[in-house]
Structure 1
Amino acid sequence: MATVLPVYPSTRRNVELVLLLGAVVIAAGAWAVVGLTMDGALPANLALYAGGLAALALLLHGVLRWKAPHADPILLPVATLLNGIGLVVIHRLDITEDTAAAGRQLLWSALGIVIAGAVLWFVRDHRVLRRYTFTAMVVGLVLLLLPLLPGLGRTINGARIWIGIGPLSFQPGELAKLVLAVFFAGYLVVHRDALSLMGPKLLFLRLPRARDLGPILLAWLASVGVLVLQRDLGTSLLFFGLFVAMLYVATERVSWIVVGLGLFAAGAVLAANVFGHVQERVDIWLHPFAPDNLDRSYQLVQGLFGMANGGLLGTGLGEGRPDIVPFANSDFIYTSIGEELGLVGLFAVLLLYGVIVERGLRTAIAVRDGFGKLLAAGLAFSMTLQIFVVVGGVTRVIPLTGLTMPFLAAGGSSLVSNWVLVAVLLRISDLARRPAPVVTDGPEPGDTGATQVVRLP
């Protein structure tokens, strides 16, 4: 009888470790450049921040080695590099504005990475999340409604999307997108046959049945409700766009995209003509340089001037004036990067985001269960939509919405939720890349007794 010795493919954890150390070195080098440029000496806190980022990243790397050895080796280094770049830019603005936002951002980074490690530790199989489909729906809706509670919700910059507990504030909508993605994936994996196969055909489109329009109409009404009650255009757009994207992935029907775009266009026209805060943002978007709008469009205009000043290669870290732009370390951190690192720096950041999205979609293709495919694709699309909304807003492609750049912008809500997003993708990718078990049925006719080595996929 032949002896079959399976040879498992490399988990590539050592590759991840090398890339991780490279990401920390790049972030530490940029931190040192800021100090040398602005103060003429290495920053006194360089070892603290570089060592803190390295320790946190290595901690999560250790959890992956133990609990998810086959997880994607690229996601963690890229997320760490983006987090490090964000810390550098926030620190650079701290020096000019005499603030301490970088210290708080490092603490939020620690919290986000620890929670991501806990997700990988306790969620051994992403398919367990499918049991909580409707629980996730309830939790998501509660998170969206929390800012409306008297005494708990806070209105900041005209939007009521925050909750406050003592001196701390948090944006629950950031976590809502994750749990709602779990709900959408669990719901659509059960109902996708009815949504994709049935309905009348008109020309080249197969239209959905009236009864199947219910979920998308509810999602549209919920997103409009968020827009009306919380004055939050960004979350409304992200919420509805996530559902339509996952609906298309589940059914592969273009008609759902057409219906979704039609509802979005109707909602946009309605909002622009009925709600004053949306009218104002559209007016600023269309006429930012009009004399009557200069006070309201100051932030957008200064951001555009900053990116124009950066040109192709930028002014250099510490050499520009991104502090002129209000909220330069949060809502407009992308323009801060554009001024000091130029168009090349902006494209490099977008390329890093593109890598995360690509690895998420690759995971969605490779994983074997329908729920995992939809969840991974939904999380990747949610990051894509958020990046498009933010970059499109600060570059005047679309009106400003108030969302923040994942991993880069100052603020704990976005940072924690995006580390959890990466953790879920890592968990799904671990199952997707795990070799299939070897099943032996006994000796085959003609076995010579020789040892065979079989390399598993």
Structure 2
Amino acid sequence: MSQLLTVAKPRRNTELLLIIVALGMSAMANALVNLNLGRNFDNDFYTQIAILGGLALVFHIVLRLKAKYADPVILPLVIALNGVGLAVIHRLDITSGDSAATRQWMWTSLAVVAAITVIWFLRDHRILRRYTYISLLISVVLLILPLVPGLSAGSVNGATVWISIGPFTFQPGEIAKITLAVFFAGYLSSNRDLILLAGKKIGPLQLPRTRDLAPMIVAWLASVGVLVFQRDLGSSILFFGLFMVMIYVATSRVSWILIGVGLIVVGGTAAYQIFPHVARRIDVWVNAFDPEYIGAAFGSFQVVEGLFGLANGGLFGTGLGQGTSDKLPVANSDMIIAVIGEELGLIGLFAILCLYALLVARGFRAALGTRDAFGKLLAVGLSFAVALQCFIIIGGVTRLIPLTGLTTPFLAAGGSSLLANWIIVALILKISDAARRPIDVSTADNSKPTNDQPLKEVPSP
């Protein structure tokens, strides 16, 4: 009889129960929107609930078949966030006359199908390690696409980050954060020992060799390139921050953090001095309540109005549909957190932040549990990408940092973001399945904690 190193239960029934709760949250949010705005429960109300429920159920069944040991909490968390986001966008459409909710439903369906496809066909997450440098090449191509004549959708709100394919627009940089995470995880897991052992030691700091600095310089130049050519401050911060966290997790060396901070200071100072759009964002952030900046084009009106909306919400909020979002520019994307803060109050906004915190924590837990270095780094990188994206946009809305054009994951309107983040969820679920799946002690090589051999399920005795 084989002995098991760990005995984990699939917990799929727990997941199903949590999915029902998440769907109930979405249905309740939609119902409150209709009630507060005096609308009837029409066929669209029931159809949308059925679509989201059907997608969630199919995803759940696929996990039972292909990743039955995957974390049981991640999928319900994402469904809850996505469902609340759909309800809020629907509420904003009613007062603005827009059709963003219809597009969001379409992209949600496409994103969930893409995530299901990843779960179904990706047998083992370690297969991605074979494509380390191909992922880097794909990342470069994706970042260049918005600058290609004929594909570029031009400047949108000052940033050139979109491509146009027929009637659709897409932001390739959202997919690039996934391929960059794969490249960083593959490179660092393969070269970790060289990075750790080589280099000069100055006092308590172990400095890397010049050749080992190359990936950091490439990441830094890529971030600066996004900032210079695409004028996208948020993505620039996201890409470089992603690499900084992953290399620190791989090496635990403070010297890398110090070098990275130095590059950030140099790049940020130069960008402020050279590029007017960077200087304008900083000035608007610092002088947000100055009348000169409030009334200026691309000024601080959006941020200030969002802050007043948050203040108006108080502790319990005004109620879904009862806020002043008609005064708020791009309320369904950049400023959706301000809408939620006003209409659900501090308590509702805190609940949303708790959902994000739980999602990121479960991703880190998958990283801790998996037995290969590549999976650990990939799970950390993907989870941190979601966390950093939340921090950048929520920090901008609350004026903690300058506002950038990133979207709030799963909540805000934006098909590219939805597609990329659902794929991230699928990859984290595959890694968590490998982490929780029992292994046979009699055949496992315990001397190699980063064993990259295929994992085999062993039935419980």
Q: What amino acid maps onto 1:385 in structure 2? A: L
Query: In the aligned structure 1, how far is the partner of 2:436 from the partner of 2:356?
Result: 22
**1:455 to partner: Cα distance:** 9.7
2:393 pairs, out of 385, 390, 394, with: 390
- Cα pair 2:3 2:441 within 8 Å, conserved: no
* 1:94-109 to 2 correspondences below 5 Å: 94-109=93-108
State the Cα distance separating 1:43 from its structure 2 match.
4.6
Alpha-carbon distance in 1 for matches of 2:68, 2:172: 31
1:204: Cα distance to partner?
Answer: 2.8
Question: Which of 295, 299, 302 is the aligned partner of 1:299?
Answer: 302
Higher mean alpha-carbon deviation, 35-44 vs 326-335, is at 35-44
Shift of 1:343: 1.2
For 1:395-427, what per-residue CA distance to the aligned partner results, in whole angstroms no more than 9, with x for missing partners?
A: 111111110000000010000100000000001
TM-score normalised to structure 1 length? 0.94
C-alpha root-mean-square deviation of aligned residues, in Å?
1.7
Please report how far the alpha carbon of residue 384 of structure 1 lies from its aligned counterpart in structure 2 after TM superposition: 1.1
Q: Which residue is equivalent to 1:444?
A: none
Question: Per-residue CA shift, 1:128-162, capped at 9, x if unaligned?
Answer: 00011111110011001000000101121111100
Distance 1:27 1:163 in 2: 32
Look up the equivalent residue of 1:356 and give its one-letter code: L
1:250-269 mapped onto 2 (5 Å cutoff): 250-269=250-269
* Aligned-partner SS, 1:164: strand
Structure 1, residues 246-303: CA drift from partner, whole Å, max 9, x if none? 0001101111111111111111111111101111111100001112111211111111
* Equivalent residue letter for 1:165: I
Corresponding residue of 2:131: 132
Cα separation, 2, equivalents of 1:329 and 1:167: 20
Equivalent residue in structure 2 for 1:321, among 296, 320, 324: 324
| Paired residues of 1:146 and 1:152 also in contact (CA < 8 A) | yes
Q: Where does residue 213 of structure 2 map in the other structure?
A: 213
- Counterpart code for 1:78: L
Distance 1:430 1:4, change over 3 A: closer
**Cα distance in 2 for residues equivalent to 1:178 and 1:211:** 25
Tell me what 1:123 maps to.
Answer: 122
In structure 1, the partner of 2:271 is 271
Are residues 1:431 and 2:405 paired? no
One-letter code aligned to 1:194: L
Is the Cα–Cα contact under 8 Å of residues 8 and 69 in structure 2 kept in the other structure? no
Question: In the alignment, residue 414 of structure 2 is paired with which amino acid?
Answer: G
Instruction: Report 1:137-286 matches (<5 A).
Output: 137-154=136-153, 155-286=155-286
Confirm whether residue 290 of structure 1 aligns to residue 293 of structure 2: no
Secondary structure of 2:161's aligned partner: strand
**How far apart are the structure 2 equivalents of 1:43 and 1:265?**
54
d(CA) in 1 for partners of 2:79 and 2:235?
25
Q: Distance in 2 between matches of 1:62 and 1:4?
A: 29
Q: Which amino acid aligns with 1:81?
A: A
- The equivalent residue for 2:453 is none
**Are residue 36 (structure 1) and residue 22 (structure 2) matched?**
no
Query: Distance in 2 between the 1:288 and 1:187 partners?
Result: 42
Determine the structure 2 residue equivalent to 1:339. 342
Residue 374 of structure 2 is aligned to residue 371 of structure 1: yes
Report if the CA contact (8 A) 2:3-2:440 is conserved: no
What is the aligned partner in structure 1 of residue 405 from structure 2?
A: 402
Q: 2:365 aligns with which of 362, 373, 379?
A: 362
Larger radius of gyration: 1
Give the conservation status (yes or no) of the 8 Å contact 1:282–1:399. Answer: yes
* CA–CA separation in structure 2 for the residues paired with 1:456 and 1:233: 51
CA distance in 1, matches of 2:273, 2:386: 29
For residues 189-218 of structure 1, give each alpha carbon's deviation from its aligned partner in whole angstroms, at most 9, with x where no partner exists.
111112223322333322222332221112
The one-letter amino acid of 1:60's match is F
Distance in 2 between residues matched to 1:4 and 1:135, nearest whole Å: 40
Structure 2 distance, partners of 1:331, 1:377, is: 25
Residue 10 of structure 1, CA deviation: 2.2
2:87: which partner in 1? 88
TM-score, structure 2 length as denominator? 0.93
Structure 2 counterpart of 1:149, which letter? V
Alpha-carbon distance in 1 for matches of 2:42, 2:267: 50
Given that 2:146 and 2:160 are in contact with CA atoms closer than 8 Å, whether structure 1 keeps it comes out as yes
Matches of 2:333 and 2:7, distance apart in 1: 44
Answer yes or no: is the 8 Å Cα contact 1:9–1:456 preserved in 2. Answer: no
Of the structure 1 ranges 338-347 and 107-116, higher mean CA displacement relative to structure 2 is found in: 338-347
Q: Any gaps of 5 or more consecutive residues in structure 2? A: 444-457
